[in-house]
A and B are shown apart, each in its own frame.
Chain A
Amino acid sequence: MTDFVWLVIAFPLAGAVLLHFLGRRLGEPLAGIIGTLAAAAAFVVAFVAALPFIVEEGNHGETVMLWEWMPAIGANLEITWDPLAAVMALIVTGVGSLIHLFSVGYMHGDERFARFFTYLNLFLASMLTLVLGGNFAMVFLGWELVGLCSYLLISFWYTKPSAAAAGKKAFVVNRIGDFGFMVGLMLVFTNFGTLAFDGIFERVPEILDGSTATAIGLLFLVGAAGKSAQIPLYVWLPDAMEGPTPVSALIHAATMVTAGVYLVARSATIFAAGDAGIVVAVVGALTALWAASIAIAQSDIKRVLAYSTVSQLGYMFIAVGLGGYIAGIFHLMTHAFFKALLFLGSGSVIHGMHEEQDMNKMGGLLEKMPVTGVTMGIATLAIAGIPPLAGFWSKDEILGVAFEYGGVGIVLWVIGLVTALITAFYMTRQWFMVFTGEPRWEEGVDPHESPRSMTVPLIVLAVLSVGAGFLNTPFRLTLEHFLEPSFELVKVAHPPEGLGMFALLAAISVGAGIAGAAMAGFVYSRPREIWERFQGGFGGLWEAWQAAYRVDDLYGATIVTPGRKLSERMAFDFDAGGIDGFVNGVGRAVRSAGARTRVLQTGLVRNYGVGFVAGLLAVVIWLVIAGGGV
């Protein structure tokens, strides 16, 4: 029995409430420790609650009803505790706990130290509501709450104008996605009459026809693209790096941005009933390649990782779009480990370099920051897909799924391979630029290794980045068996059968990865002039990548500026002239009518009397004439 699973949400929520009211009094570092303990407690509860799935083969899990809120529409406080939810909860709380711990060191000395942990705990509670919710109403609640937390944390240093603007941008772009999600939910409700998972997924084949399922899927894709930063709504994520680095690691790399992937996986039956899946996969593939190419030329250490995140999320979308839900979740998990590690590593670097984020002003840091350097190196190899690290297994499974799909899948597979090569290139480039070569530090900067509370999470995550891949190798499909009960209703896509095929595909992708890494290593381990000659070889293309294809300018010119113009016209011309004019016109008409008729109100009783008598007489005469006698 897993009735106690609500504690998973309750612990971080209680932490948030406690820190909100007492945080300032608790001070540093006690507030951070309490926040970390709340996250860790949630992890422990989630782990205990997940044990039955490991022990029992084919355990479906259960729905735990906490409180009947609006039973008529299936919107109750209930938790669906199944293997998928368990995996998500473990990732969120596990990585979350480590990042909380890291933050205790990273946020040292910040005057809103306690408030930061309030937000982090609130975020955990929200994200867990999203992934554990047993109906779409709770998912939507969590969906909006994580958006709120994301906004609060991006603009945590709100006195910095760029941070405030980035928070606003994230909020607005996410709203566009939320709108699609909400319309999708309405469509679900009109078709099923409920929002509860129990009443939806099992009845999909009998209720939804193909086109409706496609429509719902596409609307969900809009929502997922907003939250998970896919084309065309990815623009908020790179700007979100204005927030503190642990926030980037937790929210904008490991957990919140995977909400879209989770949504698609959770709604697998709906996607399987229509044709929206292939659109998801194509969007994912395009995003993967697009973002990876931008990442090549970035010089800000966090922006590289931001575009890398967008690109890796694209991989997950390929997987879940083609029906490889388990492959997608698997990559979601390994990515959470190594991308959190990369972000925390970059945070450690930024911390050691006195808030410097430009990689052109780093170099040679390996000696000064050995732990950070080595762990980040491991993460780089993991994301580059070098066996036997975690990224290799999960990325290969996705590529295998795409290959097995055939047709369009082959195209996606090629795109994935190219992206893998680019990924290996830019990650290796980053590592060499930061950790090797001549020091290019600005004067007065004295790099130093970070304190223990920051390096311990790095080491733990490094171990996970190495080992997590073995959870689901083609030789031993542990995660697959674990997750299978959650996907019983759909046909899950798999990589091609057979060891030979696996070896062939693995060889190709590893080749691509090694090629990319080697190219970057060859160029960026040498002096700066060599890089510049190399970069100059790309001509205008490099500048386009550096400027992120000027997508922000494009959006600004096509959407933001016309929107602002329209708003101004509405506000100053239509509203002030039209609406107000009409209302004022009515007022003026009444007033002028009053000015004309006021002369009748003489205030003289006898004047009124004349009118009164005249009316009386008129009635009497009318009665005499028309009434036929008095």
Chain B
Amino acid sequence: MVELVIFVLLGTGAIAGALSVIFAKNPVYAAMGLLGTLFSLGVFYVVNLGHLIAAVQVIVYAGAVLTLFLFVIMMIGVDRVEDTSETIRYQRQLVIGLAAILGVTIAALVIGGEFAWVPLAVDGPIPNGTVENIAGIMFTDWLLPFEVTALLLTIGAAGAIALAYYAPGTSVEDAE
């Protein structure tokens, strides 16, 4: 019962946040909408026993990634209101067509019960996504991917610095 209430409330919130991302004229509102969606998802993770990743979701996404987005938005200009009219010919019509097909497909899948194929209950204890349990898997079976992603992060950081940096006193053209 509690889960149903949570699902309805936060699910509606998540969808509303997602819609505000694509409809907001000001990027700041879009970022706020995204924040709402991410937070809702964090709660869903908890409901689904993913305690660690729920925490990570809030810290990394809401804390770090969105902050980064906001930085860039401020840098580019928070006050510029975007023209949302379409300039590419037929783009909007095509997208509406695709959206219709997509909606029909998902509706068909949901109504047809395709998403209900898995039983929620399993035999035996339901694993709990605590730090201890996650680490137990991550540092045994998933150690190599873990190391590789660490490397990926390092490279990403170095690449971002190389892309964004240019020496003071030089023009943009010189930097390129």
Q: Which A residues form the contact surface with B (CB < 8 A)?
A: 602, 604, 606-607, 610, 613-614, 617, 620-621, 624, 629-630
Contact = CB atoms under 8 A, between A and B. Distances in A.
Interface stretch (B15-23, B38-46, B101-109): B101-109
Nearest to B91: A606
B105 A630 contact: no
B117 interface: yes
Interface in B102-143: 102, 105, 108-109, 114, 117
B59 interface: no
A264 to B, nearest CB: 80
- Dominant secondary structure of chain B at its interface with chain A: helix
B88 interface: yes
Interface string B76-116: 00000000000010010011001001100100110000100
Contacts of A602: 88
Given A624-B114, A629-B117, A610 B91 contact: yes
Given A620-B105, A624-B105, 12 more contacts: A602-B88, A604-B88, A606-B88, A607-B91, A610-B94, A617-B98, A621-B101, A621-B105, A624-B108, A624-B109, A624-B114, A630-B117
B88 A607 contact: yes
Contacts of A630: 109, 114, 117
A231 B108 CA distance: 94
18 contacts: A602-B88, A604-B88, A606-B91, A607-B88, A610-B95, A613-B98, A617-B98, A617-B101, A617-B102, A617-B105, A620-B105, A624-B105, A624-B109, A629-B114, A629-B117, A630-B109, A630-B114, A630-B117
A606 B105 CA distance: 22
B121 to A, nearest CB: 21
A620 B104 CA distance: 12
B26 to A, nearest CB: 20
Given A606-B88, A630-B109, A614 B114 contact: no
A607 B98 CA distance: 13
A629 B109 CA distance: 9
Contact of B98 (A610, A624, A629): A610
B110 to A, nearest CB: 12
Contacts of A604: 88
B102 to A, nearest CB: 6
Contacts of B114: 624, 629-630
A629 to B, nearest CB: 7
Contacts of B105: 617, 620-621, 624
Interface in B63-85: none
Contacts of A607: 88, 91
Nearest to A629: B114
Interface in B143-170: none
Contacts of B102: 617
A217 B98 CA distance: 83
Contacts of B98: 610, 613-614, 617
A629 B88 CA distance: 37
A128 B70 CA distance: 94
Contacts of B117: 629-630
B138 to A, nearest CB: 28
The 6 A-B pairs with the shortest beta carbon distances in the complex, nearest first, are A610-B94, A613-B98, A630-B114, A617-B101, A604-B88, A621-B105
A520 B157 CA distance: 110
A614 B114 CA distance: 22
A607 B117 CA distance: 36
B118 to A, nearest CB: 11
A607 B102 CA distance: 18
Contacts of A614: 98
A620 B103 CA distance: 13
B111 to A, nearest CB: 12
A610 to B, nearest CB: 5
A607 to B, nearest CB: 6
A195 to B, nearest CB: 65
A604 B88 CA distance: 9
B100 to A, nearest CB: 11
Nearest to B114: A630
A497 B101 CA distance: 113
A629 B115 CA distance: 10
Q: Which one of A602, A610, A617, A630 has the greatest number of beta carbons of chain B within 10 Å?
A: A610
Interface string B30-43: 00000000000000
Nearest to A610: B94
Contacts of B88: 602, 604, 606-607
Contacts of B108: 624
Nearest to B95: A610
A614 B100 CA distance: 12
A620 B106 CA distance: 10
Contacts of A613: 98
B90 to A, nearest CB: 9
A630 B94 CA distance: 26
A617 B106 CA distance: 11
Contacts of A610: 91, 94-95, 98
Nearest to B94: A610
Contacts of A624: 105, 108-109, 114
B1 to A, nearest CB: 29
Nearest to B117: A629
A613 B108 CA distance: 18
B9 to A, nearest CB: 28
Contacts of A606: 88, 91
A610 B96 CA distance: 11
A613 B91 CA distance: 13
Nearest to B104: A621
A419 to B, nearest CB: 91
Contacts of B91: 606-607, 610
A606 B114 CA distance: 31
A621 to B, nearest CB: 6
Contacts of A621: 101, 105
